[in-house]
Structure 1
């Protein structure tokens, strides 16, 4: 029994580590916004991940090509939503909003996923999901408005928050498509092919906007983005799902805004205000309520 308890305690650390890595990446995204363009950091992120994975995955891709080929259109769509639109828009949002706000809006992924599922999968939400979604949205509006609804009229001042909402919305589509298609291929191979598509998608933007050089001010952020949140955190997350189950694991995502705000406060010196506290509590309560089964 004692050994089993120790194993369970160790497994609880897995989702905590994954969420911390993703939260730190939000802060890194905000930090590096002053030193590299959104399209450049997005491209470099997936290029680093591609270079690391290629020695391990390229041979497997060749061997499994006949079974993967029918899934290429779906993998291309997944890459567009999850790796290009979500992450690319998030990097753009970092130029106009705080890491704290980005972390809070990121916590909205479960809510958006519920309602995108309703449209695509005809998976209609429970009354708890509807009430929780409305409650969380109210909290989000409160945070964006900085506690004053009249400030919402200043749309230019909220451009970063609106971009981040759009990014999270696209990621919700990514999750729903994953559930809808249930691709019968290994997860790491799926990730590798999606990364290849992501690099291809970036080429027109690079030709139009150019590619910033890597220098001493942005190299650490580029390496972190390409290594830790790109595949180390997803691997830890998948391991957590195996050890703890999907439901127990998903609850830990609610800690994303807490970790992000703490990192932003300690590292980026961002202020944590009363409207962040009130809005954050409302959002988290709504998310927890939305996950409650009827």
Structure 2
């Protein structure tokens, strides 16, 4: 049973990820990228904070101590990613945006080798 639930969650994660591109393509005609990003994460906050509170039971005092770091990570990582995605969907198709996004792992490896002097190996 656990194996099937893991597979289901993996499939759902991919469907939601891909759905973001397709749904964003249709919605960007009606809303600005800033509005889309704001409302998407506003809805997510109201859904995820209660889930985190009851399922994960975080130590909120230690979380609030790191609010500056978490805010920078949220703005640079999550909010800007979605904003730039929706901005791009005004000019290209969801397929093109997904293809560009799919090269991210290769670009990360390339930049880590070039800028961080990481060792690259074909071994897994």
- TM-score if structure 2 supplies the norm length? 0.78
The DSSP-based 3-state class of the residue aligned with 2:21 is helix
Say if 2:75 is the partner of 1:80: yes
The DSSP-based 3-state class of the residue aligned with 2:31 is coil
Change (3 A) 1:32 1:74: same
Say if 2:36 is the partner of 1:68: no
Structure 1 or 2, whichever has the larger Rg, is 1
Which of 98, 105, 109 is the equivalent residue of 1:110? 105
Shift of 1:37: 0.5
Check the 8 A contact 2:33/2:83 in 1, yes or no.
yes
What is the distance in 2 between the residues matched to 1:34 and 1:27? 12
Say if 2:120 is the partner of 1:126: yes
What is the distance in 2 between the residues matched to 1:10 and 1:22? 18
Check the 8 A contact 1:117/1:124 in 2, yes or no.
yes
- Please give the per-residue CA displacement for 1:134-156, whole angstroms capped at 9, x wherever unaligned: xxxxxxxxxxxxxxxxxxxxxxx
Which of 12, 17, 30 is the equivalent residue of 1:17? 12
Which of 26, 35, 44 is the equivalent residue of 2:39? 44
Moved more, 83-92 or 106-115: 106-115
How many aligned positions are there?
A: 122
Change (3 A) 1:73 1:118: farther
Check the 8 A contact 2:113/2:120 in 1, yes or no.
no
Check the 8 A contact 1:29/1:94 in 2, yes or no.
yes
What is the distance in 1 between the residues matched to 2:62 and 2:113? 30
Change (3 A) 1:10 1:67: closer
The DSSP-based 3-state class of the residue aligned with 1:97 is coil
What is the distance in 2 between the residues matched to 1:119 and 1:78? 24
Check the 8 A contact 2:24/2:89 in 1, yes or no.
yes
Which of 28, 33, 48 is the equivalent residue of 1:33? 28
Check the 8 A contact 1:42/1:87 in 2, yes or no.
yes
Shift of 1:125: 4.2
